[in-house]
């Protein structure tokens, strides 16, 4: 069982900012930037080639909602999406990184502080 399955099953705690029947969205515990989050399907899906179109569309719907949240709560001004497949995948479970951008360099805050800003 991979780390994302363990997070989804509640075996490993996470800073979850959104969850529904299809996906779980949580903050990366080793973020590149404040608000760096992952969207992970709850069903174990290896990579984009293993994914059905309904799940893929749902992930991108939630991506737009999370971008809106990041803009409202953290005042972000851009977003990079990163998704690796095959050899490039560190964890062999589909996940989409959402990496926000800011107009000025931001001091990297503790993940707990970013979580509080996003969920208050």
Active site residues: 95
**For residues 117 and 56, what is the distance between their CA atoms, to the nearest angstrom?**
28
Question: Under a CB-based contact definition with an 8 Å cutoff, are residues 95 and 83 in contact?
Answer: yes
């Amino acid at each position: 069982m991979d780390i994302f399955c363990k997070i989804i099953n509640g075996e490993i705690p996470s800073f979850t900012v959104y969850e529904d029947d299809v996906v779980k969205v949580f903050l990366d515990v080793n973020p590149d930037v404040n608000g760096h989050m992952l969207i992970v399907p709850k069903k174990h899906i290896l990579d984009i080639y293993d994914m059905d179109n309904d799940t893929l569309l749902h992930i991108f719907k939630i991506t737009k909602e999370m971008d809106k949240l990041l803009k409202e709560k953290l005042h972000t001004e851009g977003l990079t999406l990163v998704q690796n497949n095959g050899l490039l995948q560190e964890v062999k479970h589909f996940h989409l990184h959402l990496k926000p951008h800011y107009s000025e360099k931001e001091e990297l805050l503790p993940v707990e502080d970013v979580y509080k800003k996003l969920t208050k």
